């Protein structure tokens, strides 16, 4: 794990061979100009930055020799006034400079918000997962200093620490291989991570799940020797008025079950618990930031394995809200565990339910690896879009075509979990299925609880190379969107 300590200073440091100074490029009239910061570092107008290979583009980093053995880093893509570009450029720096003990960001920011975006990007981007690399996990912490005359509140730096830890802890959990991370050990990780936060954790084990009517979790988990768990984590600050429920798909490994996945599609299915890791770390951050909302996270944890005790295609299960489901495809397991999670979340009558899931391969086909598919009620979807925008994360509103509902009719049960042989609108089908488990606003209301569904099958995993503050591998995306949802609804 790459560690760092973020600071702010107004005076230029004494540079040495362990330090790097990061300077942004100006390209007035499409020509890279030597700015004041560079002149102070001994770069004169005789230097031609273009010939040195510098480019003022997103993700462009050029290193040149600096004073006393230090390195000057020419960072592209910084745009004054554009917070997303600033966060992204900070991330590019954070991702690329792990070799240095001290980093000085010699970048003029206009105000505290820009400073925060730059440092947030750096902190989120400065990450590596070395837990399984021999001898690599004992690197000393890096000192990161923003050089500015602005006054930066300590709370701003604390907030950056909270946000970046939430993203890093999500990536760490998602990256853990499934031989070490399974429902029970996930619960141990939850207990470690919530330490010190004002959160109440309740764990339902396989016995409680069976007696409580959680047939989705039981049905998916019963093919594995590692039994399922449902973890409820509650944050209830006094005086909070808004009740937010976050539900996460936590399949610690998805083989497909008896509807077994082919080898190439199975690889990487340790990522199938990203939704649970996301809601977990979001609620921890919400508590640490003391956001005034009553928030509850529900982690639906199971391992989807084929075995003599596994659910068979054609079996019928009954989930928490009483509906029966014919399991036509055991690989459509996420919607079964979420059926239980959404039903339980509804029982507390929250003002908003948001679920996060690596639900369908169709999501990735439709939107690629950078956009989440967002579905649900208009008002809830708009809240999530607004929050995603504040966080600088990408989500695209997808429709829920009513005609897909009829494809869910089963000959034997209330519903079937997949229409075998029909893949049309697979992501949308998933959302329409989940809608069946959203309860009413109150015992005697006819309206359903506002609900939004984020299908993150694509963006959970960055299978390309790193960009901005996103490394290769687990992205940790949408944790900050969930935190923003809480912040935007705090009252």
Note the residues at the interface with ligand BES (CB under 6 A): 254, 272, 329, 331-334, 358, 360-362, 364, 418, 426, 457
Stretch that binds Zn ion, among 83-91, 116-124, 272-280, 432-440 (CB under 5 A): 272-280
Phi, psi for residue 171 in degrees, rounded to 5: -60, -40
User: And the tokens for 93?
Assistant: 């720096």
Beta carbons of 270 and 252 less than 8 angstroms apart: yes
Binding site partner of 360, from Zn ion, ligand BES, none, Cβ cut-off 5-8 A by kind: ligand BES
Nearer to Zn ion, 303 or 331 (CB): 331
Give me the least distance between CB of 395 and ligand BES, in Å please. Answer: 16
What's the closest the beta carbon of residue 455 comes to ligand BES, in angstroms?
9
Q: How many CB atoms lie within 10 A of CB 260?
A: 14
Chosen from ligand BES, Zn ion, none, partner binding at 393 (C-beta under 5 to 8 Å by type): none
User: With respect to ligand BES, which residue has the nearer C-beta, 237 or 361?
Assistant: 361
Q: Which stretch binds Zn ion (CB under 5 A): 23-31, 248-256, 396-404, 411-419?
A: 248-256
Cβ atoms 448, 439 nearer than 8 A = yes
d(CA 197, CA 99): 33
Distances (CA, A) of 135 to 2, 130, 131, 138, 259: 14, 9, 9, 7, 40
Residue 364 binding target from Zn ion, ligand BES, none, CB below 5 to 8 Å by type: ligand BES
Tell me, yes or no, if 335 is annotated catalytic. Answer: yes
**Segment 313-332, which members bind Zn ion (CB under 5 A)?**
331
Q: What is the token pair recorded at 139?
A: 């690197």
> Do the Cβ atoms of 144 and 119 come closer than 8 Å?
yes
d(CA 344, CA 346): 5
Name which of ligand BES, Zn ion, none residue 483 binds, using a CB cut-off of 5 to 8 Å depending on partner kind. Answer: none
The minimum distance between CB 227 and ligand BES, in angstroms, equals: 19
Known active-site residue 159: no
Neighbours of 84 (CB within 10 A): 15
**418 is in the binding site of which of Zn ion, ligand BES, none (Cβ under 5 to 8 A by kind)?**
ligand BES
Q: State the catalytic residue, choosing from 236, 261, 292, 441.
A: 261
| Contact between 254 and Zn ion per CB under 5 A | yes
Cβ nearer to ligand BES, comparing 335 with 480: 335
Q: Is 306 in the site for Zn ion (CB under 5 A)?
A: no
Q: Which is nearer to Zn ion, 206 or 331 (CB)?
A: 331
Angle at CA of residue 351, ends 346 and 355, nearest 5°: 60
- From the CB of 6, what's the least distance to ligand BES, in Å? 33
- Is 319 in contact with 404 (CB distance < 8 Å)? no
Return all residues near 141 (Cβ < 8 A) that are at least 6 apart: 3, 4, 5
| CB 38, min distance to ligand BES, A | 45
Nearest approach, Cβ of residue 140 and ligand BES (Å): 36
Closest approach of Cβ 360 to ligand BES, in Å?
A: 4
Tokens of 302: 């199971």
Using CB under 5 A as the binding rule, whether residue 436 contacts Zn ion is answered as no
Nearest residue to 248 via CA among 350, 169, 359, 352:
359
Residue 486, judged by CB atoms within 10 A of its CB (0-12, 13-18, 19+), counts as buried
Cβ contact 446:453 at 8 Å: no
* Residue showing tokens 């010939």: 51
Q: DSSP assignment, residue 141?
A: P
Place of tokens 């998805």: 254
Choose between 105 and 418: whose C-beta lies nearer to ligand BES: 418
Which is closer to ligand BES, CB of 142 or CB of 360?
A: 360
- Among 334, 458, 468, 476, interactor with Zn ion by CB under 5 A: 334
**Binding of residue 461 to Zn ion (CB under 5 A):** no
Q: Which is nearer to Zn ion, 93 or 305 (CB)?
A: 305
Name the catalytic one among 87, 270, 320, 335.
335
From the CB of 381, what's the least distance to ligand BES, in Å?
21
Q: Which residue is nearest to ligand BES (CB)?
A: 361
For the chain, the C-alpha Rg in angstroms (whole number) is: 24
The yes or no reply on residue 272 touching Zn ion (CB under 5 A) is yes
Among ligand BES, Zn ion, none, what binds residue 485 when CB lies within 5 to 8 Å by partner kind? none
Q: Are 356 and 448 in contact (CB under 8 A)?
A: no
Using DSSP's 3-state secondary structure scheme, residue 274 falls into helix
CA distance 57 to 60: 5
Q: Which is nearer to Zn ion, 194 or 269 (CB)?
A: 269
Catalytic site positions: 261, 335
Residues that bind Zn ion (CB under 5 A): 251, 254, 272, 331, 333-334
């Amino acid at each position: 794990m790459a560690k760092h300590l973020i600071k702010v200073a107004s005076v230029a440091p004494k540079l040495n061979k362990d330090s790097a100074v990061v300077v942004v490029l100006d390209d007035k009239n499409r020509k890279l100009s030597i700015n004041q910061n560079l002149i102070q570092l001994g770069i004169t107008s005789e230097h031609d930055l273009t010939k040195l290979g510098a480019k003022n583009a997103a993700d462009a980093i050029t290193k040149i020799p600096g004073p006393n053995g230090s390195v000057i880093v020419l960072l592209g893509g910084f745009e004054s006034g554009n917070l997303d570009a600033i966060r992204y450029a900070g991330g590019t720096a954070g991702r690329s400079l792990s070799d240095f003990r001290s980093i000085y960001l010699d970048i003029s920011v206009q105000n505290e918000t820009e400073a925060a975006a730059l440092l947030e990007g750096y902190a989120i981007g400065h990450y590596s997962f070395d837990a399984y690399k021999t001898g690599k996990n004992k690197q000393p912490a890096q000192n990161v200093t923003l050089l500015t005359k602005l006054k930066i509140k300590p709370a701003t730096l604390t907030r950056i620490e909270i946000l970046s830890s939430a993203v890093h802890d999500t990536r760490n959990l998602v990256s853990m291989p499934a031989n070490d991370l399974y429902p029970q050990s996930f619960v141990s990780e939850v207990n470690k991570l919530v330490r010190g936060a004002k959160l109440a954790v309740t764990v339902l084990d396989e016995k409680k799940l069976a007696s409580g009517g959680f047939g989705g979790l039981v049905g998916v988990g019963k093919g594995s020797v590692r039994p399922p768990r449902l973890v409820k984590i509650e944050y209830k600050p006094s005086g909070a008025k808004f009740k937010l429920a976050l539900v996460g798909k936590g399949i610690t490994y998805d083989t497909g079950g008896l509807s077994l996945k082919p080898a190439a599609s199975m690889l990487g299915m340790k990522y199938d618990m990203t939704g649970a890791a996301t809601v977990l770390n979001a609620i921890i951050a919400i508590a640490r930031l003391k956001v005034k909302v009553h928030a509850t996270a529900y982690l639906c944890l199971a391992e989807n394995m084929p075995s003599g005790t596994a659910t068979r295609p054609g079996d019928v299960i009954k989930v928490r809200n009483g509906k029966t489901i014919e399991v036509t495809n055991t690989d459509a397991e996420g919607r079964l565990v979420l059926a239980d999670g959404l039903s339980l979340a509804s029982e507390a009558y929250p003002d908003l339910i948001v679920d996060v899931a690596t639900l369908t391969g169709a999501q990735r086909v439709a939107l690629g690896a950078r956009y989440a598919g967002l579905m649900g009620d208009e008002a809830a979807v708009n809240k999530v879009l607004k929050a995603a925008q504040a966080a600088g994360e990408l989500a695209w509103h997808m429709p829920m075509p009513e005609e897909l509902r009829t494809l869910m009719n089963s000959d034997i049960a209330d519903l079937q979990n997949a229409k075998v042989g029909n893949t049309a609108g697979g992501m949308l089908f998933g959302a329409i299925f989940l809608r069946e488990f959203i309860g009413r606003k109150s015992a005697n209301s006819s309206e359903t609880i506002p609900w939004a569904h984020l299908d993150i099958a694509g963006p959970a995993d960055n299978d390309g190379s790193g960009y901005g503050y996103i490394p290769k591998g687990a992205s940790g995306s949408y944790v900050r969107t969930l935190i923003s949802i809480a912040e935007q609804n705090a009252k």
